[in-house]
Each structure stands twice: as C-alpha cells, then as structure tokens.
Amino acid sequence: MKFRYLGNSGLKVSELTYGNWLTHGSQVENDTATRCVRAALDVGISSFDTADVYANTQAETVLGEALKGERRESLEIFTKVYGPTGPKGHNDTGLSRKHITESINGSLTRLQTDYVDLYQAHRYDVETPLDETMETFADLVRQGKVLYIGVSEWNAEQLREAHALARELKIQLVSNQPEYSLLWRVIEDEVVPASAELGISQIVWSPVAQGVLTGKYTVGAELPAGSRATDQKGGAGMIERWLRDDVLDAVAQLEPIAADLGLTQAQLSLAWVLSNENVASAIIGASRPEQVESNAKASGVTLEADVLTRIESIFDGLAETDPRKTQMPSGREA
C-alpha cells in the first residue's frame, strides 16, 4: 500500500481508504463487516471513513468495534457531520454549533476513540453562518477531539471561503470528499484547480461508480442477484443512472485495456482516479473481504499517458463534467 500527504499537511493517508457508507450496520452482517475491516488492515490500508448519518449511527459503532485493539497511532479515522441522526429533530442536522458539538461527542463514543484524525462537514449548510461552523471546528481542534478539518461535496467558492476562515482561526482545512470516477468528473474544471491552489486534497467516493465500472453489469443481461443495483436500500437509486446501453458498452471496452495491464476493471478504474495528483485517496467499500484484497492491488499502479488517453476517449461525451452538478442541499433535511 502506498501513502500520500493529505493537502498541505504532514498527515499521510493510504491511497485507498476503507469506507462503510452502504455496508456496515445495514447491508452486511456485523461479522462480515469486521472481516472486511480486518482484510483492509491486512493489505496495509490505514485510513477508514465513516459518518454519523450512515445507518443512523450504526456504521460508526460497527467500525469502532472492528478497530478495537488496533494501535490508534497507526490509523487515520475519518467521520462526518451534517446529516440527520437520532430522532431527526429540528436541531439534529446541519452545521450549527449545537449539532456539531453534540455530534462529535457521539461519534467519539461510537468509534471508541479520544479523537478523529479528520472531521468533515458532510455537506455545505445554507442555513448556518460559515463563521459559526468554522469557529466550532476550531474549538474541537483546540480541545484535541479533532486533528484536521475536511468537507464533502463543496464547490470551489465554498472551499475558498472556508479556507480563508480556517487560516484566520489557525486550523487546517485539508480535504474535500467528492464523488469522482470515469463517469463523474464534475470536480475537474473548478474544484480541483482551487483545491490545488489552496493546499486541499480530494478523498473521493464512488471511484468505480457504485460497481458499474467493474463490468458486472452488461447490455441485455439480467441484473446480478444480490448486486447493489437490485438492493433498494443499498444504492440502487444511484446506480440506475449508469445502467444505459451506451454507458455499459463503454465500460465493456475497459476489459481489454485492463487485461493488457494485468488488472481487473475495478483496479484499472481505481488507478485512473489515483492518477489525478490532487486525489490523496479513493474510498472503497466491500461486502466481502475478497473485494478489499483485490482492490488494494490498484495502489501504486502507474498508468502511462497513452493508456490514460485511450481510457478517457472511451467515455468522451458520456462522463458528467458540469461543475454545477456538485451536490448541494437546498436546506436541512430534518
């Protein structure tokens, strides 16, 4: 496993981060989730990403149990705050001082740790002053509960505003967590250039487009039994946008390229994401330990310029590139 610096900080993270968005506490049993975490540790993954909103806090609990007994100093644990948790009352969501303060205490208890390495604003809160949010984050850093600050799905303007406040408050805003894959490239035109200028890295989610880029879905074939596309609670709604014949035809063209390089399509897709210098880590999920072991082999793979050109030409006109598509909540969900 290779490691990269997170933003302009001295913190190194593994090129692949193990994430438990759609699995722990909901899609897979706890013992399987634990075996997936153990597999991640065995292949050298040291970074683990979760959020209090995942499975309404249960994902953090499962991850905390799975990591119990590990040397804390050897891990980078990331979690997030914003989404509604608990009974989902009027103050159970957003980035207010109240919700952030209560959320970090709950996350630390569930994760069984005294601090998290990276605390991320899961979305931009249009209803809370940014000053209030950043000042609260700064307080958590000074209390030792949080080491670094990150955000998720923020656009370039929001990143600039938050970074300026972070500098004033003398804390480090080091990361953004956007969706990014061969099929979803909306960060490239604005977010990545702004981030590179500010010293912010991307920790990207859905790098294999919810499994579509693995090649498991093909034109005219039935959806594989037990796949995410058939699970209405496990991301089927997100996958269906990619289950078009033109997209699946393009994905099929990755197979010979991957074969020539001795890679699976998933490994190739992960290596493509990691070829972006502003990406510090790509988040992988798993419902089986074998998936973790296979995907880990993407770390350290270098794709030559001609291979990158060939891959990108396949998806020309199919990939979403509009920077306005960065996910933005219109208001709090609670």
DSSP, res 188: T
124 is an active site residue: no
Is position 239 within any domain?
A: yes
CB 155 within 8 A of CB 186: no
Residue 199 lies inside a defined structural domain of this protein: yes
- Residue 63: inside a domain, yes or no? yes
The residue type of 141 is V
* Spacing of C-alpha 216 from chain mean position: 22
Q: What was the pLDDT predicted at 231?
A: 59
The predicted structure's pLDDT at residue 21:
85
Tell me the pLDDT tens digit for each residue of 319-328. 999 999 887 6
CATH number of the domain that residue 177 is part of: 3.20.20.100
Task: Please state, in angstroms and rounded to a whole number, the distance separating the CA atoms of residues 139 and 321.
Answer: 37
35-44 pLDDT per residue, tens: 999 999 999 9
190: left (phi over 0), alpha (psi -120 to 50) or beta: alpha
Q: Are 248 and 223 in contact (CB under 8 A)?
A: no
d(Cα 27, Cα 86) in Å, to the nearest integer? 19
Which pLDDT belongs to residue 242?
87
331 part of a folded domain: no
Domain assignment of residue 296, yes or no: yes
- pLDDT on residue 240: 82
Please report whether residue 332 resides in a domain. no
- Domain hosting residue 158, numbered range: 3-325
Give the total number of structural domains in the chain: 1
Looking at residue 28, what is its pLDDT? Answer: 65
Q: 182 with 206: CB under 8 angstroms?
A: no
Helices marked H in 155-260: 156-169, 191-198, 236-239, 245-252, 254-260
pLDDT at 166 (0 to 100): 98
Query: What kind and span of H or E run contains 12?
Result: strand 12-14
Position 333 in a domain: no
pLDDT number for residue 327: 74
**What is the tens place of the pLDDT at every residue in 121-152?**
999 999 999 999 999 999 999 999 999 999 99
Is 334 a domain residue? no
How far from 332 is each of 12, 153, 178, CA to CA, in Å? 33, 15, 19
β 3-5/12-14 pair status: antiparallel
Residue tagged active-site, from 18, 54, 148, 217: 54
Q: What is the DSSP letter of 205?
A: B
Instruction: Show the tokens assigned to 119.
Output: 């605390």
CB 334 within 8 A of CB 89: yes
The model carries a pTM of 0.94
Q: What is the pLDDT of residue 221?
A: 67
Rounded CA Rg of the chain = 19
Q: How many CA atoms lie within 13 A of 64 on its CB side?
A: 19
pLDDT of 34: 92
pLDDT at 228: 60
User: In the structure encoding, which two tokens stand for residue 38, read together?
Assistant: 């153990």
Half-sphere exposure of 286 (CA within 13 A, CB side): 25
Residues of the chain with confidence (pLDDT) below 70: 22-28, 221, 224-237, 328-334
Which pLDDT belongs to residue 256? 98
* Residue whose tokens read 């300026």: 164
